[in-house]
Structure 1
Amino acid sequence: MYLLYADESGAIGDPAQQHFVLAGFCAFERQGWWISKELDKIASRFNPADPGSVELHGSPMFAGRGSWRKFDKAYRHKAIADALRVLGNSHVSNRLFASVVRKSAVSPRDPVEVAFEQLASRFDKYLIRLHNKKDTQRGLIVFDKTTYESTIQTLATDFRTKGYTWGIIRNFAEVPLFLDSKASRLIQLADLVAYATYRNFEKGDSTFYSLIEHRLDADGGVVHGLYLKQ
């Protein structure tokens, strides 16, 4: 089974923010343990006695908010980059998926609906390509607990039964799961992926996104893992 860990970045209701992002990465079920252990090593830099108490979270790490305030900016930013490199250097089957939506470009549609439809369908198509290569796998999307949970759950159910714009989702084992990010290093990495993607398209800052862009799902030279609505 492949698990797609995903999170959002950008606030729907903030007029000062132009983009909304849903992004994350898929990993084969046995890859999760290795990724989590590498992220634990990064967290231990900030609390060696209790690395589990450290949540790797893009926005506060970047800005130095809350418990991150006591750490030097360069040290915090290096930790973000190193965490993203864990994904960048992981098994080739681990793929990046991102939906980047300029809110004004999809109005009056809900940006969450547009972004999730693209994220889910592109992950499903990745699983279809694996099946066509004689590697049949099921998929599951795992989100951070979010204010958009009810919207996403409803959409996911509809995609599996009534269909979406391009067909019916056929390869998901279940509707998305929602976890507390404090309990999952993989959800924390999805947060960093979403934040890096958001900064690239909202702020024009490719510092972090450039470390993972090469892991966008692609086949035959065609990039499938990025949806960009500007």
Structure 2
Amino acid sequence: MYLLYLDESGHEHDPNTDFFVLAGFAIFERQTHWLESNITPIAARFNQQDPADIEFHGSPMYGAKESWSGIAPTERVQALVDVLSLLQNHQLQLRVFASVIEKSTMPANQILERSFEAVAHQFDQYLADMWTRKKDAQRGLVVCDKASYEQKLQALSSLFKHKGHNLGRLRNFAEVPLFLDSKASRLIQMADLIAYWIFRYYQSKDDRGFKLIEPYILRRQQARVGLVTSVTQQTEDALAAIQPHKYPFPDPTPCRTPHGNEEG
């Protein structure tokens, strides 16, 4: 089974932001332990006695709020880079999925449904492709932060599975989405960072985090299909004109991985 960890950034009804992002990554179920065991030591830099007290959460990390208050910008940035750089592990083959909607392009009451439809469809196709290419029958499960739109997403998942959606019908989902407390799930926290830095790319034209994420967005026959967008031409032009940031991100911290890729 593959798990798709998802989180959102922005809000469809927030007048202070222009975009809504639903994003995260897919991972094989037996590899979750390895990924978590490599995120926790990054948290331990900031609280060795209780690493679980440190939550990787995009907006507080960027703004030095909550448990990140008082931590130097260089240390916060390095932690962010080190977490996102775990996407690079070739054996894990993590794949990023995201929907980005510029809120001016559709009514607010359609944004969440269209976002989940886009991400769920591409994840379902990803699972179907495994059977087509390798005869590897896999099912999928979406895992979200419990603070997200729990009832709405569960209803949408059931609807898309049994009656279909604009792009077809979900055929490879094992169950409706599961909701967890992000404080207890390092992988939900990683999904939060992915969603936040995709959001910053579109909202603030800050491409530093997006550069770490973009190579791992799902591709099919060389086409980047894992990122589905509904944005204006003005936004496309602004993204094409982004200049190098005054404060570029550092390289990831070199480290040895003490655990194998599978739990056991």
The TM-score range, normalised by the shorter chain, is over 0.9
Give the alignment's TM-score, normalised by structure 1. 0.97
Other-structure match for 1:213: 214
Helix, strand or coil: the match of 1:70?
A: coil
Give the alignment's TM-score, normalised by structure 2. 0.85
Cα shift at 1:147: 4.3
- Report the Cα distance in structure 2 between the residues aligned to 1:83 and 1:105, rounded to whole angstroms: 32
**Preserved contact between residue 35 and residue 87 of structure 1 (Cα < 8 Å):** no
- Report the Cα distance in structure 2 between the residues aligned to 1:201 and 1:136, rounded to whole angstroms: 36
Instruction: Give the AA of the match of 1:138.
Output: R
**Preserved contact between residue 3 and residue 139 of structure 1 (Cα < 8 Å):** yes
Other-structure match for 2:189: 188
- Report the Cα distance in structure 2 between the residues aligned to 1:102 and 1:90, rounded to whole angstroms: 33
Instruction: Give the AA of the match of 1:3.
Output: L
Post-superposition Cα deviations, 1:23-78, rounded to whole Å, max 9, x if no partner, equal 00000011111110110011001101111111111110111012211100111111
Aligned ranges 1:1-230 → 2 under 5 Å: 1-91=1-91, 93-107=93-107, 109-133=109-133, 134-230=135-231
Unaligned residue ranges in structure 1 (runs of 5+): none
**Preserved contact between residue 9 and residue 20 of structure 2 (Cα < 8 Å):** yes
Structure of larger gyration radius: 2
- Report the Cα distance in structure 1 between the residues aligned to 2:219 and 2:35, rounded to whole angstroms: 21
Cα shift at 1:92: 5.2
**Preserved contact between residue 42 and residue 83 of structure 1 (Cα < 8 Å):** yes
Aligned length: 230
Helix, strand or coil: the match of 1:190?
A: helix
- Report the Cα distance in structure 1 between the residues aligned to 2:147 and 2:164, rounded to whole angstroms: 24
